[in-house]
Chains A and B, each alone.
Chain A
Amino acid sequence: MSAPYDGVVLTCPVTVPYVRFSNETAHWWVARALRGTLDAAGLTPRQIDGLSVSSFTLFPDTPVGLTQHLGLTLRYLDSIPMGGASGVVAARRAARAVQAGDAEIVACVAGDANRIDSFRNLLNAFSRFSLDASYPYGFGGPNATFALIMDAYMAEYGATREDFGRIAVAQRANALRNPHAMMKKPLSLDDYLNARPISEPVSLFDCVMPCAGSEAFLVMSEDRARQLGLPFARLTGSIEAHNAFPDDPVQLRGGWAAEIDKLYAQAGCAPQDIDLLQTYDDYPVISMMQIEDLGFCAKGGAAEFVRSHDLTIDGDFPHNTSGGQLSVGQAGAAGGYLGIVEALRQVTGQAGPTQVPDARLAMVSGFGMVNYDRGVCSAVGILEGAS
């Protein structure tokens, strides 16, 4: 079992409100999130020595270019190209760097631009296997890929569209309390069921809306956070898994399932101890898989689970309390930070209108990168608010 992340904390969660389309660049969005998290800490750019960046739209730059562009002098620089798994992976690697003394303060940031046609351009160059073996078949993008997964999942486990709808509807209810959510209109189960098909069985409210935005947080020693007087959370456990279960013909489980027992052992807790769950919700079927693979119910039991639980902020199983990507929007790689930044706000009591009362222990799960027929990267972290 890997060692605990003793003496290291996460702090200063920041979300730069998303917009549907923006002419600003990824550099602009990253700078704003970085400035936001440093302002929250009362630090200047010169006082950080580590940076971890996730972004799809920096081209022709990489995070190396950002150091000069943003005037940062660093001794730790990381680039996490893992889409929806980026937030948790950035946090766990930064935590190790700080723990080992390779850096003192690491700013973790994700952000992406979204100009008209950005999304199509991003898809066009997403991966070699997609170009060779997925896009030539109708070019449905991720919608079609996840339609196949959803179709197979429904056939295997008997889940219905109503079950997926419950997740989307509960998240919309949460989003209506989040002033930064892109979706402002209430969503009923009928609205979900009657929405236009996108790639059957995926319909409109199974999909996220691409937008521009950014997210950030800081990783530093607990001592430093106390000196600065910052509310913080400990990372009590984390795992990542890539290309797990490669021989499953269709992805009906993610890499979470491969490592989950190690995670709970490292964190010293069990599913029933978790106060709130942030899953990666690019599609509700993936949230269902996470509910199963993270141990909240048996494999194939998520449909029944969502029927018998209330997934809203005030419910018995608070899930994607910000509204998730389904209702907040997907700002590229920042979508991989949405869950961890919201979880950090929750366990440090800073979530405001979406606050779950007495939230102490949050689980955040990430999932990313449809290289061909499935998401390749998965990661999970457990955050514990300091008391």
Chain B
Amino acid sequence: MTLPYPKKKDPQKRTKVPTLPPGERSRAALGLAIAAARGRFALQSCAACGAVQYPPRDACRSCLSVEMSWHDTPAYGKLLAETRIHASPDPYFRERLPWRMGSVQLEAGPVIMAHLVGVSRGDRVTVELRLDRAGQGVMIARPMKRTEDMEDDPVLRAIGTHPKHRRILISDATQPVARPLIDALFAAGAAHVFAGVPELWRRPHGLSAIEGLENVSVMPLDVTDTQSLKEAASEIGGKVDILINTARHIRPGGVLGQDTTAARDEMEVNALGLMRLAQAFGPGMAGRTADGVNSSAALVTILSAHALSPDPGYGAFNASQAAARSIVQTLRAEFAPSGLRVAAVYTGPTEDEWHQPLPPPKVAPKALARAIVDGLDRGLEEVYCGDVARDLAERWAADPALLDREMMGGGA
């Protein structure tokens, strides 16, 4: 299957109003969304007897223990039965009929229901947990091996954020990540890139790397300048399917020993800049999440993994990252009714002038670009790029208070 590029829109036709798949879930079932947001396949299992459970529940079906926890689980199974649904009372699915689903016996034990992508009864399948438009974790049964155009399947296209045929705005294309990001997006099939450049008139560093590229429009855009955002949004707001916020201001140093000038700039760009971008482009994107093949899909922002727990050597910068992370969480709630995904790509120290004296491992721009596009390919909401970010995230998830102590230099 190869997804054709959509025809030009008829401007006289009404843009389809976004509807969402059923989003109501029990508290226990939210664990599916947590795993799906990170691209993991996790199920509940019983701490007492080890029995793997599905659907998610509050007590073990084998021993009645209430000690249930989520663990990564082998994601293989056999497709037991399948159907193609032609009638549904749900408005979201009604617009997308027929819809294939089936039941899978997992090798881990439980029987699950799943959306079907390119598999039929009797097949051995891989099951993925993905976020759907309601922001909930859903099961996808797919062939054991991913195929190149698997993401073209209408089921995955409907729930995913794949860059193919989509038009992408990069908020600050002068950052080192911009050029490899543009290359990776086009390799994934992106249709067009709008490359925002702050203070374009003074030809900032990094401009030469993106000038003159095919299907790239360089345009003035400054996340600290509301007027510039307004002008950009009025020009291209109806065409931005994915917004990737690369704008970043970073200066080393803690809180003491300097005035608040650098910290103010960091807040302006990193936290308030994200807010302004969302205000300028968000409403337009939220209205276009059901707009055909190149519907709007995601707002992505890059965050330092130290947004979770600060490195005192970059204390002021990390405060802006924690603020930005908080804004991301609010944006998720605010965009939820539209189905627009808000993704955060967490990175450790990047390979650039501001982290120059730091020892490796550091994240190269190319690796960061790959992580962003991979997250879009798989519809992730939380991406951890590089060993430092992954390590921090794991320690934070295990015990945030302990991580805070360790960041302060304790626990050798």
Residue positions of A touching B, CB distance < 8 A: 119-120, 123-124, 128-129, 131-141, 143-144, 147-149, 151-152, 155, 196-202, 246, 249-250, 372-373
Contacts and interface: CB of A to CB of B under 8 A. Distances in A.
B90 to A, nearest CB: 4
Contacts of A155: 81, 121
B93 interface: yes
B16 interface: no
Given A136-B136, A148-B102, A131 B83 contact: no
Given A139-B93, A144-B101, A249-B80, A132 B85 contact: no
B29 interface: yes
Contacts of A139: 21-22, 85, 88-90, 92-93
B86 interface: yes
Interface of B: 21-22, 24-26, 28-29, 32, 54-56, 61, 80-90, 92-93, 99-103, 105, 111-115, 121, 132, 134, 136, 138-139
Contacts of A140: 83, 85, 87-88, 93, 99, 101
A134 B115 CA distance: 10
Nearest to B140: A137
Residue in A120, A124, A137, A147 whose Cβ sees the most chain B Cβ within 10 Å: A137
A268 to B, nearest CB: 37
B176 to A, nearest CB: 40
B135 to A, nearest CB: 11
14 contacts: A119-B89, A132-B29, A132-B56, A136-B132, A137-B115, A139-B93, A141-B89, A147-B85, A148-B81, A148-B113, A151-B83, A198-B86, A199-B87, A373-B113
Given A132-B29, A138-B100, 19 more contacts: A123-B89, A131-B24, A131-B26, A132-B26, A133-B113, A136-B134, A138-B93, A138-B101, A139-B88, A140-B88, A140-B99, A141-B89, A143-B85, A143-B87, A147-B83, A148-B80, A152-B81, A152-B121, A198-B86
A146 B87 CA distance: 14
Nearest to B114: A137
B369 to A, nearest CB: 32
A2 to B, nearest CB: 27
B86 A196 contact: yes
B72 to A, nearest CB: 19
Residue in A135, A138, A139, A144 whose Cβ sees the most chain B Cβ within 10 Å: A138
Contact of A144 (B55, B83, B105, B114): B83
A141 B26 CA distance: 18
A129 B55 contact: yes
Give the 3 A-B residue pairs with the shortest CB-CB distance, closest first.
Answer: A139-B90, A147-B83, A133-B55
Contact of B85 (A144, A249, A250): A144
Contact of B88 (A124, A138, A372): A138
B154 to A, nearest CB: 12
Contact of B22 (A135, A198, A372): A135
Nearest to A151: B81
A255 B105 CA distance: 21
A148 B83 CA distance: 6
A138 B132 contact: no
B106 to A, nearest CB: 10
A75 B161 CA distance: 61
Nearest to B89: A120
Contacts of A199: 83-87
B412 to A, nearest CB: 45
B55 A198 contact: no
B8 to A, nearest CB: 31
Given A144-B101, A148-B103, A249-B111, A136 B83 contact: no
A373 B111 contact: yes
Given A137-B113, A155-B121, A250-B80, A197 B86 contact: yes
Nearest to A196: B86
Residue in A141, A144, A152, A372 whose Cβ sees the most chain B Cβ within 10 Å: A144
Contacts of A201: 83
